[in-house]
Structure 1
Amino acid sequence: MTTAQGVPVEVQVTGGTVRGVDEGGVSRFLGVPYAAPPFGEHRMAPPAPVQPWGGVRDASAYGPTAPKGDYPPQYQPLLPEQVIPGEECLNLNVWTPTDAVGTGRLPVLVWVHGGSFMNGSGSVLEYDGTAFARDGVVCVTINYRLAAEGFLFTDGDAGAGRANLGLQDQVAALRWVQENVAAFGGDPARVTVAGESAGAMSVTTLLAMPSAEGLVAQAITQSGAAAHTLTPETGRQVAATLADALGVAPTREAIAAVPLGTLVEAASDLVVEVQTAPDPARWGSLALSLLPFAPVVDGTVLPRHPLEAFAAGASAGVRVLVGSNREEARLFLVAPGAIDLVDEPTLVGGAGAYGLQAEGLDLYRRNRPGASPGDVLAAVVTDWFFAVPAIRHAEAREAGGGTTWAYRFDCPHPAENGGLGAAHAVEIPYVFATAHQPSAHPLAGASPSDDVVATAHGTWVAFVTTGDPGWAPYTSATRTTGVLTERVSVVDDPDGAERAAWDGIR
């Protein structure tokens, strides 16, 4: 029966039958649970199997989002959130060509959202998978637990399998995909897992986790690599600070007994403290990474640092596309209005804090004649936080026998999107071909280029579908990189002198 929302389509999955909606040849199934609600007996514990339901479950609307705080006010217009209450927050969304339902033959893209491990969901509007489905890709977006609920690390967690619950949620979602995606038309042997920012850091980490082995054939990491993991000592420090703010013992049991809303607020306050008053004497490495909730190398769930694992051959059989945006850090300087306040002493002090020597900073200045100190600092921070870690990821995989492709996204120009340029997260609506949605305009600009959309989206479709984005793999000898603008330009070692300035530092 045709309704205002389209034509109902039913699919049998783990847990029961779901009823999605077909519109224009693309069927969407939203809010489908892949694990039990992580509350009550399941709170702050590894994900439990999905609870079956009777009858037909409506899957025409997004499901609950994981508990989270708000982005700081300056980022809210740029990164609009969905906030949907409810306990069944471990859910996912599927878009697929309607005529492919049940065939089990199409490539699959599983998207892991970003948000500093504090924010985000699979229901952000720019993650709509319709364009991928129209191009023959089954697109899946997922939720996972955030902040303390997903990344708390306390004494007793190492060896107990209780660390990195947010990552364990992602593994549970990937297992669900393996078991169910054929019903939607996807081939479980052709799964690509992708993510941006914290999502890309998650994807990178998943490739080093034994529990995720065999669940994906390919991966894409956008603006996030293996550099941003925590040691157990740092994880325990974060837990102790959080517990002190809550007035409880620094144990998982004591923190799990805190009312959810109180815990979410306290975790958000802790992140604000780290990010606005990053005292190295107090926070150590977190004063630079600014991510107090992140994957912990706990020795069990994540046995060792991902770069070590890759160099030793972990996930060598998984094809990986890794990259970043040309002007990532402009998001964090333009949005709060700080970029024009950076003077020369601030630039020198900031570059020094990241370990860049005077001659290296002079190189950045020379390569940007006429640039303000804020513009130069943005370039330095971009490379420290995003570009160089992506390169180290590719280098480690090369050492371990893996095949990796590198990209850099270079659009739009800062004049086209309020000074942001090719800043952090800007590529997402281009990749999903959702750049023309009004909610994407603060990031992508009011008149995003159709050619850039076609290039970015088409590159992702090509990689997901064929395992090749269209240029040669990355090696330390050639450093071949696909530079994405209105077209793909293949460049060996772009800005190589600046890359080399970080050798031995980052």
Structure 2
Amino acid sequence: MGLVVETKCGKVEGFNEEGINKWFGIPYAKPPIGKLRFKRTEKCVPWDGVKKTKKHGNKPHQFLDTKLTDIPASEDCLFLNIWAPQEANNLPVFVWIYGGAYSIGECSDPNYDGTNFAKDGVIYASFNYRLGVLGFYDFSIYDDSFDSNCGVADQIEALTWIKENIAAFGGDSNNITIAGESAGAASVINMLAAPKAKGLFNKAIAESPIPGCVHNRNSTKLNMDLFLNVMKIAPGEVYKLKTLHADEMKYAAEYLLFNNCNLYPGIFLPGPVIDDLIPEHPIDAISKGCAKATKLIIGTNHDDGALFVKLENTMFPSSWGQVEKMLEINRCVDKLESLHQLYDGISQNEQMKELAKDRAFLVDSIKVADWQSGYNDTWMYRFDYAPRLTRLLGLKSVHGVEVPIALDNLGRGIIRRFWKGTSKDIMYKLRDDMHTAWVNFAKSGDPNRALEVFWPKYNAESRPTFIFNEDNRILMDPSNKNYEVWKDINLYTE
């Protein structure tokens, strides 16, 4: 496989590094600027000659104050990256969708480097999609000149481009696995339910998804009204957003992320909405077999909630007073006593962390696994290992800690810092288990082969769950008590 590849939009020239062929900054759509701002993605305009794709493209504008790289931010950000072995020919494809609360993230983040997947004989791809106000805020409820789900449209267009072009890079277009963590994993679940994404992939991996973070008109309006109030823009003047620089909207977006839960406890951050791209809630669509052609791995971290709960200004309820208000707003205050009993015996701070984990990540992931396992092969896991540093910080097996393990990037990116001071033997053992399972799944549709403990397929009756730890094991229905309390608590559904 040469470094000059002909795609449907034109030729691209990559580079070789560490024995791996790489193409960075390939445009997969028209730049969403000018008249295309707040509009859904349009297909890439073909170019003449050979486009040099040897450095990362612009990252999306970030709507939280976190600096991941020095790559410049721009609204012209719809680029993707590809890593491939030098002699790639009809190899399986692994596509990573970054997380970041639908507010931060970029495919140029070293945490998401694909070199080691390519060394394992898998073509790896990642792509940018619009974030925050530009990608996931739905102003179409006020003005139909705005489109909804722009970030979702980006994701579908990127997957379409990969499906149509990956064979030219040595990939098997009929063997594509999509994967992601947090909002990236939620995006994976959304792609399972999106009609326009059907047929673009065969397998999916969702690491700590937030399957419930898909808004109806009610919860969308609560969030958008709050944002406009902070911006001091009336709903009838929402058109003013079209000419503001992204940085002028960042403060209000950050305010919304950390204050909407104070006003409406239990509401999710702004994200995808129900519309023609996602016609019904993904969990409901999955229950009806919308993803019956897709094999799935889904799981959570033991302490997924620890990153999101503090004394105030948090994305999830931080006190029992907020929990009671959450239940009152949603007319299910009768569940309050059972929630108290569920988390009895630990400090209030720990109770809120557990509550956040159950509400956002665990229970809905179990629902997805229960339904999907009735249609196709499904495996469920829980990542329990807590590195030394996160134990010292009280975060334990915190949200996102498994990413450098799963992607075999312990030497790259910010998240690797979680693992500082942890025994290399333990890190490499966990990597050899989890990363190899992901590679096996991408290649064959089965995560087993290298695991010393057999990982059985999931079923909704016994719910076998693979526990990644120093000593792996299988637990049957390990979260049944939490699930039974939470399964009928429906928040912001009207």
Do both share a fold (TM > 0.5)?
A: yes
Distance 2:319 2:389 in 1: 23
Selected match of 1:45 from 36, 39, 51? 39
Instruction: Name the structure 1 match of 2:478.
Output: 494
Q: Secondary structure at the match of 2:201?
A: coil
Of stretches 149-158 and 22-31 in structure 1, the one that deviates more from structure 2 is 149-158
2:91 paired with 1:106: yes
Aligned length: 468
Q: Secondary structure at the match of 1:323?
A: strand
Instruction: Name the structure 2 match of 1:3.
Output: none
Distance 1:397 1:297 in 2: 20
Q: Deviations over 1:36-72 (max 9, x none)?
A: 111012111111121333332222221101112333x
Instruction: Name the structure 1 match of 2:72.
Output: 84
Q: Secondary structure at the match of 2:14?
A: strand
User: 1:360 Cα shift?
Assistant: 4.8
Distance 1:80 1:109 in 2: 23
Instruction: Name the structure 1 match of 2:489.
Output: 505
Q: Deviations over 1:423-461 (max 9, x none)?
A: 111111111111233633333334361111211211111
Q: Deviations over 1:382-430 (max 9, x none)?
A: 122211110011123245x243211111112465553322111111111
Distance 1:347 1:243 in 2: 27
User: 1:151 Cα shift?
Assistant: 1.5
2:402 paired with 1:427: yes
Instruction: Name the structure 2 match of 1:4.
Output: none
Of stretches 425-434 and 19-28 in structure 1, the one that deviates more from structure 2 is 19-28
Written as runs of structure 1 = structure 2, the 5 A alignment for 1:277-426 is 278-280=262-264, 287-291=265-269, 293-298=270-275, 300-333=276-309, 348-349=320-321, 357-365=336-344, 372-398=347-373, 401-413=375-387, 418-426=393-401
Q: Secondary structure at the match of 2:416?
A: helix
2:177 paired with 1:192: yes
- Judging changes above 3 Å, is the alpha-carbon distance between structure 1 residues 359 and 463 closer, same or farther for their aligned structure 2 residues? same
- Judging changes above 3 Å, is the alpha-carbon distance between structure 1 residues 61 and 8 closer, same or farther for their aligned structure 2 residues? farther
Instruction: Name the structure 2 match of 1:283.
Output: none
Instruction: Name the structure 2 match of 1:201.
Output: 186
- Judging changes above 3 Å, is the alpha-carbon distance between structure 1 residues 210 and 8 closer, same or farther for their aligned structure 2 residues? closer
User: 1:328 Cα shift?
Assistant: 0.8
- Judging changes above 3 Å, is the alpha-carbon distance between structure 1 residues 191 and 459 closer, same or farther for their aligned structure 2 residues? same
Instruction: Name the structure 2 match of 1:181.
Output: 166
TM-score norm. by structure 2 comes to 0.87
2:23 paired with 1:29: yes
User: 1:28 Cα shift?
Assistant: 1.5
Instruction: Name the structure 2 match of 1:273.
Output: 259
User: 1:503 Cα shift?
Assistant: 3.6
Instruction: Name the structure 2 match of 1:229.
Output: 214
- Judging changes above 3 Å, is the alpha-carbon distance between structure 1 residues 250 and 185 closer, same or farther for their aligned structure 2 residues? farther
Any gaps of 5 or more consecutive residues in structure 1? Answer: 1-6, 281-286, 340-345
Q: Secondary structure at the match of 1:475?
A: coil
User: 1:359 Cα shift?
Assistant: 4.9
2:450 paired with 1:472: no
Distance 1:87 1:476 in 2: 43
Instruction: Name the structure 2 match of 1:452.
Output: 430
Distance 1:157 1:181 in 2: 39
Selected match of 2:467 from 465, 480, 483? 483
Write the letter of the residue equivalent to 2:274.
V
Q: Secondary structure at the match of 2:96?
A: strand
TM-score norm. by structure 1 comes to 0.85
User: 1:357 Cα shift?
Assistant: 4.2
- Judging changes above 3 Å, is the alpha-carbon distance between structure 1 residues 68 and 327 closer, same or farther for their aligned structure 2 residues? same
Q: Deviations over 1:8-52 (max 9, x none)?
A: 822222332222221232111111110111101211111112133
Q: Deviations over 1:271-329 (max 9, x none)?
A: 23325xx222xxxxxx31440x211112x121111111111110111111111100111
2:40 paired with 1:64: no
RMSD (Å), alpha carbons: 2.8
Report if aligned partners of 1:351, 1:380 keep a CA contact under 8 Å in 2.
no
Any gaps of 5 or more consecutive residues in structure 2? Answer: 313-317, 328-334, 449-454
Of stretches 167-176 and 256-265 in structure 1, the one that deviates more from structure 2 is 256-265
Distance 1:179 1:157 in 2: 36
Q: Deviations over 1:328-368 (max 9, x none)?
A: 111224xx6x59xxxxxx765466567664455445445xx
Instruction: Name the structure 1 match of 2:332.
Output: none
Distance 1:193 1:411 in 2: 24
